[in-house]
Structure 1
Amino acid sequence: MGGAFLAAAVLARLGGRIGLPTIPLFILAGILLGPHTPGYTLLSNPHDLEMLSALGLVLLLFYLGLEFHLDDLKTGGRKMAIAGGTYLVLNVGAGLGFGFALGWGTSEALVLAGVLGISSSAIVTKILVDLKRIGNPETRPILGIIVVEDVFLALYLAALQPILSGADSLSAMLVDGGKAFGFLLLLALAARFGTRIIGKLMNTKDDELLVISFLGAAVFVAGISEMFGVADAIGAFMVGLMLGSTASGERILKLVHPLRDAFGAIFFFAFGLSIDPGDLPSVFWPVVAAVVLTLAMNVAAGLAASRVYDFGTQATANIATTLVARGEFALILATMAAAAGLDKRLSPFIAGYVLLLAVLAPLAAGRSHWLARILPGPRGGGDGGSDGHGGGGKDGDKDQKQVPVSV
């Protein structure tokens, strides 16, 4: 664990001197010190960091929930649903078509629909924080699209699992989907009506007790979520959503910040451990084609979202480039595909696709003003002063609360 932290820190510091984002460098550290590359192997079994990696993902999404207040859902629900639904139709539909075009099989195509269609909540969150865009007007639609994606993902995984496991009962499939949907509904009701009670339970002047309380709540609900077929990250997000609206919300935001940064780095490092570079050449051209398709669909989705919210070209470019990243959910699908005995080319394809976009997404988001120059639409309208620039320095969160935004 210490070696993982230090390796990620050293590479990130070196890359920061030449302006590289931290996410792909954390992943690169995992690749270089993993069991699939020559030289020193820090961890021969990537599963040794599995629990720490899961905690990193939980904390990243918990932090996102703290930032995404219930007022945003109340005031922007319809627009959020339209923007998120459009994003899913374009990207999941393109992924399904791409899967059938590869000719690897129907089950494989259904897996690829999710791989190409769902953004990485963890990487998107990290990009927004690093580039100091939490307070930008277009950030709320971005987070709204992620919420819609996460709800879709819970239902998608519940429906896909029986197909991959060869379930021959429609009733079993409906039961699994119903459990996931029911638990999501329960969390949503708790977030909507239970905030006052939860706030009283969390209220304490002692920072130590507050840290233990919110960390326990986030991890516990994440674990329960998995039992009901809902991604653990969604459970953590909902807890953050509840606590962000309480009187302790601001204190929790500050206290969870260092935990999020530390274990988020472990999440990306552990992802790098799972990648075998030797498998990538065999799927090079399918990966390149999938990346080009994803970039095109994200630009189309960004244009559609900007029409809904009446944004200008810079905000459109920010939306399109920030949501490009694919990550943790694609890895979940890769694990499910391997367990189901699907085409062996799926795992290296997903690894190469995710790694390439993990590198491209932060770079593209930081240079979104290049894309804005060629996009159709008003040049300044609705951008809220966002210029597409922003640093990834250690103080990236200091100004994130200065601009109150309503969807």
Structure 2
Amino acid sequence: MGGAFLAAAVLARLGSRIGLPTIPLFILAGILLGPHTPGIALVDDPHELEMLSLLGLVLLLFYLGLEFHLDDLKEGGRKMAVAGAAYLALNVGAGLVFGFLVGWGTSEALVLAGVLGISSSAIVTKVLMDTGRLGNPETKPILGIIVVEDIFLALYLAALQPVISGADSLASAAVDAGKAFGFLLLLAVVARWGTTVIGKLIATKDNELLVISFLGAAVFVAGVSEWFGVADAIGAFMVGLMLGSTGSGKRIMELVHPLRDAFGAIFFFAFGLSIDPGDLPSVVWPVLIAVALTLVMNVVAGLVAARIYGFGPGPAANIATALLARGEFALILATMAAGAGLDERLAPFIAGYVLILAVLGPLAAGRSAWLARLLPGGEDRTLTASSTAPSAAGARSPEAS
């Protein structure tokens, strides 16, 4: 574990000198020091870091919940639902078509629809933090799409499990989906009307007690969420949503910050451990086609979300690039597919696809201005800005920020 922290730190320090984001470097450290790469293997079995990795995911989404205030949901709930539904329709739909065209089977196509359709909540969260965009107007639809995706994720997993395992009981699938949705509804009700009581329970002047309390709450609810068929990450997000609206919210954000960064690094390192570079050549063309398809669908989805919110090309490019990365959900699907005995090409395909987008996503997000110039209205905006530059020296528009 110490070696994992140090390796991630060394690579991240080297990368920062040339302007590379930390996420792909943490993943690269896991690949280089994992069991699938020649040389020193710090970790022989990726499962040895599984619990620490899950804790990193929980803390990343818990922090995201702290940032995402209930007022945001109240004010823009309908727009968020429409933007999230549009994103899912475009990306999951494209993934399903791709899955059938690649010809690996119907169950495999359903798995690929989820792999290509759902963004990585952990990477999206880290990208927003690293780029300093948490306060930007377009961050609301980005976070809204993540919430819609996570709700869809819970229902999708519940419905997909009996299908890919060969079960023929629709009633059982319906019960699992109902259980997941019911628990999500319970969390939403508590977040909406129970924050006053929660605030009184969590309140304390002692930082030590506050850390133990919020950490215990986040991890416990994440575990219970998973038991009900809801992603542990969305459970942690809902706890952050509740606690962020209490009087202790700001202190909790300060106290969880170093925990989030440390265990978040372990999450991405463990992600790299699971990737075997030797399996990638056999599926290189399907991977490249899927990556290109995802790039196109994300640009379209970014434009749609920007239109819903009345944003211009800059925010549209930020939305498209921030949501580009794929990660933990795809790996969950890869595990489910392997357990169900589906096509053996799925695992290396998912690994290669996720690796490319996990690297490309943060890089593209940091350079979204390039994409903005290519979108409708982007070049006109650039020309207008340059023609008025002398009279607007020192000013910075909200959209540019």
What TM-score comes out, normalization by structure 2 length? 0.95
Stretches of structure 2 lacking an aligned partner (at least 5 in a row): 385-395
On the 8 A contact 1:124/1:323 being kept in 2, the answer is yes
User: What amino acid sits opposite 2:98 in the alignment?
Assistant: F
More helix by share: 2
| Partner SS for 2:109 | helix
Shift of 1:384: 5.7
The equivalent residue for 1:399 is none
| Partner SS for 1:255 | helix
CA deviations on 1:11-37 (whole Å, 9 max, x unpaired) are 110111111110000000000000000
Shift of 1:162: 1.0
CA deviations on 1:113-151 (whole Å, 9 max, x unpaired) are 000000001000000000000011100110001001111
- Once the two structures are superposed, the pairs formed by residues 5-404 of structure 1 within 5 Å of their partners are 5-377=5-377, 379=381, 385-387=398-400
CA deviations on 1:262-284 (whole Å, 9 max, x unpaired) are 00000000000000000001111
On the 8 A contact 1:136/1:384 being kept in 2, the answer is no
User: What amino acid sits opposite 1:315 in the alignment?
Assistant: P
Shift of 1:386: 4.0
Q: Do the aligned partners of residues 384 and 174 (structure 1) sit closer, same or farther apart at CA in structure 2, a change above 3 Å counting?
A: farther
User: What amino acid sits opposite 1:98 in the alignment?
Assistant: F
On the 8 A contact 1:36/1:277 being kept in 2, the answer is yes
On the 8 A contact 1:159/1:173 being kept in 2, the answer is yes
Stretches of structure 1 lacking an aligned partner (at least 5 in a row): 389-407
On the 8 A contact 1:35/1:43 being kept in 2, the answer is yes
What TM-score comes out, normalization by structure 1 length? 0.94
Q: Distance in 1 between matches of 2:398 and 2:69?
A: 22
Q: Distance in 1 between matches of 2:397 and 2:301?
A: 20
CA deviations on 1:318-346 (whole Å, 9 max, x unpaired) are 00111000001111111101111100000
Q: Distance in 2 between matches of 1:40 and 1:130?
A: 30
Shift of 1:167: 1.4
| Partner SS for 2:41 | coil
CA deviations on 1:45-95 (whole Å, 9 max, x unpaired) are 100000000000000000000000000000001100111100000000000
Q: Distance in 1 between matches of 2:372 and 2:249?
A: 35
Q: Distance in 2 between matches of 1:385 and 1:366?
A: 17
How many residues were matched structurally? 387
Q: Distance in 1 between matches of 2:399 and 2:61?
A: 24
| Partner SS for 1:25 | helix
Shift of 1:164: 1.7
Q: Distance in 2 between matches of 1:302 and 1:329?
A: 21
Q: Distance in 1 between matches of 2:60 and 2:278?
A: 30
On the 8 A contact 1:137/1:384 being kept in 2, the answer is no
Q: Distance in 2 between matches of 1:145 and 1:336?
A: 24
| Partner SS for 2:374 | coil
Q: Distance in 1 between matches of 2:276 and 2:90?
A: 30
Shift of 1:168: 1.5
Q: Distance in 2 between matches of 1:377 and 1:94?
A: 26
